[in-house]
Amino acid sequence: MEETLTVTKVLNNNVIITTCELNKETVVIHKGIGFGKKQGDQILVKDVDKVFTLKDEKEQEQYKMLVPFLDESFIGLMNDIILYIQRSVKGDLNEHIHVALTDHIAFTISRIKRGLALKNPFLQETKTLYPREFEIAKEVVKMINEHTNLELPETEIGFIALHIHSAETFKSISEINRHSQLIHQLITLIEQSLNVTIDKEGLNYLRLVRHLRFTIERVKKGEAFEEPTQLKRVLQKDYPLCYNLAWKVIKVMQQSLKRPVFEAEAVYLAIHLQRLSSKSE
């Protein structure tokens, strides 16, 4: 026999609550999935393989609380958006995206309609750190603009890109934001110490930001590599300003992450700083 789902409640035309043969509840989201359905109707599982099912109980409850505040056309739009994101990334998405991104976009649209400005202090870092997610988010914003006849600002592309990265990596938005904030803080420290303004569209900025990102990831994983002793001596002797600044950056990173940073990281960071320093002369 083919596996079936039993409709237990229709929330609206796009969202239904079902139970499976093991009596486990599932939220099923799809355009028109609830149209004409009533309690007790049967749905073949093979017919819902292209829709979204929320299996986690916490996510189900949060989504069910959210639905009454959203109109059906918006839920249909979010279905299209998340389907587009799913097709654009590799691997599965954390199902929390249905709650987090839906809530975020609904709140954003509400704010824009009320004329409230949206600020994103880490837009440039997001654009540099997550270029693929940023491009996907651009298309998402286009979809929202066409549906709502609004004009969402570029800042919103950055926020949506973070949600996409969060769902793709199964990391919380708060953790990703902390890393973006830390990188922003480190870049500011470097600019002030070297008395330079780094071109945020330039290659050196791209290299530096990505180096800092991968350093943070290595620190969190406790990964280390062999210290380049000879290179360290050269940098200490010939470029003491950059080497000392590298250590200052590393200490800020240690305090923020509450993890030790291996000495080799300071050596390789000093090379990036020397490149920036020489460009400014």
Render pLDDT for 237-272 as a digit per residue (tens, 0 to 9): 999 999 999 999 999 999 999 998 888 899 999 988
Can you give the pLDDT at residue 5? Answer: 84
Can you give the pLDDT at residue 110? Answer: 93
Q: How confident is the model over 174-199, as pLDDT tens digits?
A: 999 999 999 999 999 999 999 989 88
Q: Is the pLDDT of residue 1 over 70?
A: no
Can you give the pLDDT at residue 2? Answer: 66
Can you give the pLDDT at residue 279? Answer: 61
Q: How confident is the model over 58-117, as pLDDT tens digits?
A: 888 999 999 989 998 999 999 999 999 999 998 899 999 999 999 999 999 999 999 887
Give me the chain's average pLDDT, please: 89
Q: Locate tokens 């291996």: which residue?
A: 262
Q: Are 135 and 128 in contact (CB under 8 A)?
A: no
DSSP for the chain, written as a single string? ---EEEEEEEEETTEEEEE-TT--EEEEE-TTTTTT--TT-EEEGGGGTTSEEE-SHHHHHHHHHHGGGS-HHHHHHHHHHHHHHHHHSSS---TTHHHHHHHHHHHHHHHHHTT-----TTHHHHHHH-HHHHHHHHHHHHHHHHHHT----HHHHHHHHHHHHHHHHT--HHHHHHHHHHHHHHHHHHHHHHT----TTSHHHHHHHHHHHHHHHHHHHT------HHHHHHHHHH-HHHHHHHHHHHHHHHHHHTS---HHHHHHHHHHHHHHHHHH-
Can you give the pLDDT at residue 120? Answer: 87
Q: How confident is the model over 9-61, as pLDDT tens digits?
A: 999 888 999 887 777 888 888 888 888 899 989 887 776 766 787 888 888 89
The model carries a pTM of 0.85
Question: What would the mean pLDDT of 208-223 be, rounded to a whole number?
Answer: 90
Can you give the pLDDT at residue 150? Answer: 93
Phi, psi of 37, rounded to the nearest 5 degrees: -85, 150
Question: What would the mean pLDDT of 269-276 be, rounded to a whole number?
Answer: 89
- Cα separation, 260 vs 222, in Å, equals 8
Can you give the pLDDT at residue 34? Answer: 87
Can you give the pLDDT at residue 31? Answer: 82
Q: Which domains does the chain have, with CATH numbers?
A: 1-55 (2.30.24.10), 70-171 (1.10.1790.10), 180-280 (1.10.1790.10)
> Higher model confidence: residue 1 or residue 162?
162
Predicted confidence band of residue 280 (pLDDT cuts 50, 70, 90):
low
Question: What would the mean pLDDT of 126-136 be, rounded to a whole number?
Answer: 95
Q: Is the pLDDT of residue 4 over 70?
A: yes
